[in-house]
Structure 1
Amino acid sequence: MANYIHVPCGSPEVPRLELTVLESGYREGAMNLLKELRPHWKPEEITTQVFTDGITNKLIGCYVGNRMEDVVLVRIYGNKTELLVDREEELKSFRVLQAHGCAPQLYCTFNNGLCYEFMQGEALDPQHVCTPKIYRLIARQLAKIHAIHAHNGWIPKSNLWYKMKKYFSLVPTEFEDKLINERFLHHVPNPQVLQAEMTWMKEVLSSLGSPVVLCHNDLLCKNIIYNEKRGNVKFIDYEYSGYNYQAYDIGNHFNEFAGVNEVDYRLYPSRELQEQWLRWYLEAFKVYKGFSMDVSDTEVEILYVQVNKFALASHFFWGLWALIQAKYSKIDFDFLGYAIVRLDQYFKMKPEVTALTAPE
C-alpha cells in the first residue's frame, strides 16, 4: 500500500543508521545515534528523559542544558510491532507530512526505530479536545492533512479492510496464563462472531461514499500537541498513517475523546459538538481543496452519519490490535482489558449508529 503514497520531489532523503537501540540499555544506544546526529554535543552534558505515554513504543528525549530548545526524540519500536505497522508506509507518510509542514523534522531511521524533532507544546487530554478553541484547531489541521495530494496519479484505495483482516489473522486463540485465558474466553467474542462483524462492516461502510484520503488513523489526545503561544496544533506519531476513509479518521478521533488509560465513553462528543466540529472541518477542507468554504446543513448531516458509522470500525480495529498487543507487548498496560472495552463499545454502539440515515 505504501506505493500509493508519493513523496514530493525534492524532499530530503532520510539517513538510515545501522544501529540497534536496546530498551534495557537505551542511553548507550541513544548516545551512539547522537554521535551521528549531534556530534558537537558532549556526552557528559546530555540528558535522556523517558516519555511514558506511549503504549506501542518507548520514546526517549535527548537534550543538552535545561531549556530543551533542541531535543532529539528517539523512538524504539515495541516488541513484535512489525506485525502491526507497515514501516515503509509510516516513513513515507512522515516524509509527506513533513513536506507539507504538518510534521516535525525526521532526522534518521535505525534498525529498530527512528529519530525526529521534538515539537514544542502540550500533549492534550480528553478535557482539552472538547473545548471550541482547541477542537477548531484540530479540525482544521486534520482537514489540511486530508487535503494533501500524495498519490501520484493513482486512485487511492483504503487499506482498512486489508489491515483489519491481517490483524484478525494475528489475534491469539489462547493465553498461557490460566486467569488471563479465562478472562479472554469469557469476555471476547469467538472468532466466528468477529469474522461475521468484519464482513458486515466491509459491506455496509464501504458503500457510504466516504472519500479516501491521507489519514493519521491514530488521533488520540496524546498525539495532538497544542502550542498555546503559536495558537496551533500539530499531530505526532504516524505509525498507522496511510490512505483510509475520511470518516474513519474523524470517527476514530471522536472515540478517543474517551481517553486511553481510564476509558469513559460518556465523554464521546455530543451530536451538537460533532456538528460544530464537522462544520469547521468541512469549511477548512474545502478551502484547502481550492473550493468555496460554504457548507450546507446537508453536508454536515451526511458526514455526521458517515463518521458515527465508521466509529464502529475504529472500535473493532483497535480491539483486534489490543488483543495482539496483549500477546506480545512488553509494555505495562492492560491490553486485554482495553480490547474488551473497545469491542464491548462496538456492540453497544452498533444498533444506535446503524439506525442513522443520511439525507438524500
Structure 2
Amino acid sequence: MRHVPDTERRSRLGRRHALAPAHRVDSVAGATRAMTVLHATEPATVYLSCWARVREVSVATIDRALYDDRDVVKQLAMRRTLFVFPRELLPAAWGSASARVAETELRRMAKDVEKAGVDTDGQAWVHRSREAVRAAIAEHPDGLTALEVRALLPDVAVTYDVTSGSVWNHSRILTHLGLTHDLVRGLNTQHWRVSRPRWTLMEDWLGVVPPASPAAEGYAELVRRWLHSFGPGTETDLVWWLGSTKSAVRAALSDVGAVQVGLDGGETGWLLPEDVEPLTGDDEPWVALLPVLDPTVMGWKQRDFYLGSRAGELFDRNGNAGTTAWVDGRVVGCWTQGETGEVRVHLLEEVEDGPRRALQVEADRLTRWLDGQRVGTVYPSPAMKSHRELPVPAAAPRAAPTEGSDAP
C-alpha cells in the first residue's frame, strides 16, 4: 500500500484546488469543478472562492455564470448545506444527497406541523402546501421571492414556534421544493453579498431537466469527484462530507474502484485507481486568502494535515470555518477588513519574509477587487473576532443555523 505523506497532500491541494497560481483556471465553471462544488451558504463565499481560483474574474463574470449561462447552479445537498454545482453534476446530487436530506426534512416538517396544531396530518399538509407553492410559481416564469410567496399563500405561510425561534412554513416548503429539484434559487434580487432569490421552476431555469440518478450511482459520482478534488481522504472524511452513512460511502468507494493508501498518523486514505502515482514536477511557492466556508477549508473532517492545532481559532463552535490565510498548503492565519475595506492578514504563527510579503500582495489584490465593499458574515471565527474589523451583524447567529450548518 503506497504511503501519501502530508507534504504530498498539501501539494495536491494547491494543484487540484486551483490555488497555486500556475494551476488557476479560466472560468467559474472550472473553479467549481476543481472543488467538486462551491459552498454557497453565504452568497459572498461563491464570489471570493472564484476570485481565489480564476485568473481573471469579476463580479459580473460570476453573475453571468450563475444567472445567464447557468452552467453552475445552486442546490441544497450534502449536510443540508447550500452549494453551487456544475450543471452536469446536479442529477447525481438530486438522487442521493439531496434526496436523503429531503426525506429527513419532510418528516421533520410534518412533525412540527402536527405539534403546532396546524394540521393533524402533517405529511398531507406539507404535500398540499408544496403543490400550492409550485402552482403559484408556475404562473410566474421569472419566479417569486419568498416574501411574494408569503403574500400570495397566507394559508401556507403560517408561523409557529415549536423548536428554537419562530419558523415561517413557506420558507421551509420552498427549501423542500429545492431539495426535490422542483424549484431552484434563480435570479438574485440583491447585490452579490446578500441572497434574496426569485424561486423558479427548475424546468424554466434549465430548459431541460435530466432525471435524477439512482441513489447508488449518484453517491458514486459524488465520491469520484470528491476523490479527484480532495483525495486522499479517509472514510470518516467522506461520511462527514456527504452527510451520509458508512455503508453508502463504502459502496461508493467500491463502485469507483478506490484504492487504499497510507497516511501520516496511521490513517487509511483512498484515491481513485488512476490517481495513485506520486505527483511529478516541483511546486512553486504559493499563498492564498480564502473566504468564510471555502470548500478547501471545509473539505475534510480530519484536518490536521493543513490546520495543525488551529481548528479552535479558525472554526466557530458549530464547525463553520472563518476566513483563512494559506502558505504552501497550510493555514497560517486569517484575514479581516478595515473600516475602509482594506484587507488585513492576521498571522497565527511565524511566517518567513517571502510568504509574508506574498500574503500582503494577495491582500492588496483582494482589496482592489473588493473596491471598498465590505463583506459581512454570521460565521466569524474566534481569530476573526479577536480583531473586530470585519462587520458582524448585531444579532448573534443561531446555535444551529437553519441552513448550512457544517458542524462535524
TM over 0.5: no
Higher helix fraction: Structure 1 or Structure 2? 1
TM-score normalised according to structure 1 size: 0.26
TM-score normalised according to structure 2 size: 0.24
